[in-house]
Amino acid sequence: MIVVTGGAGFIGSNIVRALNEQGREEILVVDDLSDASKVVNLSDLRTTDYVDRTTFQREIVDHGLPAKTTAIFHQGACSDTMATDGREVMQTNFTFSKNLLEVCIEAQIPLIYASSAAVYGRDGPFAVGVKNETPLNVYAYSKYLFDQLVRSRLSACRSQVVGLRYFNVYGPREAHKGRMASVVYQLFQQFQSQGSIRLFEGTGGFPDGEQRRDFVSVKDVALVNLYMLDHPEASGIINVGTGCSRSFNDVALAVINTCRAGRGEPEWSLQDAQQSEAIVYFPLPAELNGKYQSFTEADLQELRALGYADEMTSLEAGVRHYVHHLQGNAKA
């Protein structure tokens, strides 16, 4: 049986879907459904059991992992980078993860868990290595601290432990995340409701809307997780992105042109969108000063060294697929 913590969440439910597509259905979902809207992420998936997160945390400390557990995908976390309750973030992201690591090591069960590119801080570089890690908020610190714990235990582990540092993930099943949903989701909603998209004015030496991030499709993220499961010899901390940064203007234009194509309208250039005020710019909020990443780009050296050779979905193809998905009123 495969355990997926955060299995009703964004990335967790996409991992369950990918497992189902491989014919794997012996899956235990662990989550907190106090936000009942997440149930929609499970309604079309095939699983065998569900356990509340708090109950699961208590059970693994008292009794270890459930019987017949073969692997853990640990995706359950507080993912709000603006969270101010540090105690809650550390309890959810660090203490729970630490307890899970200990029982997995003891039982020699593979643990594949979600880390984050947030550990690299504002400026990077975005290559795996302690010297590059400068977390700027409690969310990033919780991920950084657990990665450090994993590093300290790896040499003694007789089973797989993999930390996947996700960059800017977008795709289906994220609507419940609200303001923490991906940029692609947010820009689509803006364009649908207002006919225009608002981006930040220039920051960090980048012109208006030209700040760049590594935007990665959740489909690719799920496939990397499954690849790790099928390669138990792989362990360590690994970046998961496309390896190619793209601007927020690129994302906005991909959203706009996908919507325009659906209406039979010609494709716009960035200049067309700006002149028509379909893209407008506003100042960076004061609370983000000194904390905003104007550039990210995953160094994929470790991922490629482990033999993962699949090409990542291009931004245009990924946004087009996701916008069509959203327009079809399917799971967001």
Residues marked active site are found at 139, 177
Q: Are 5 and 72 in contact (CB under 8 A)?
A: yes
According to the 3-state scheme, what is the secondary structure of the chain? CEEEECCCCHHHHHHHHHHHHCCCCCEEEEECCCCHHHHHHCCCCCCCEEEEHHHHHHHHHHHCCCCCCCEEEECCCCCCCCCCCHHHHHHHHHHHHHHHHHHHHHHCCCEEEEEEHHHHCCCCCCCCCHHHCCCCCHHHHHHHHHHHHHHHHHCCCCCCEEEEEECEEECCCCHHHHHHCCHHHHHHHHHHHHCCEEEECCCCCCCCCCCEECEEEHHHHHHHHHHHHCCCCCCEEEEECCCCCEEHHHHHHHHHHHHHHHCCCCCCCHHHHHHCCCEEEECCCHHHCCCCCCECCCCCHHHHHCCCCCCCCCHHHHHHHHHHHHHCCCCC
Identify any residues that bridge with 116 across adjacent strands, giving them in sequence order.
166
Q: Are 14 and 172 in contact (CB under 8 A)?
A: yes
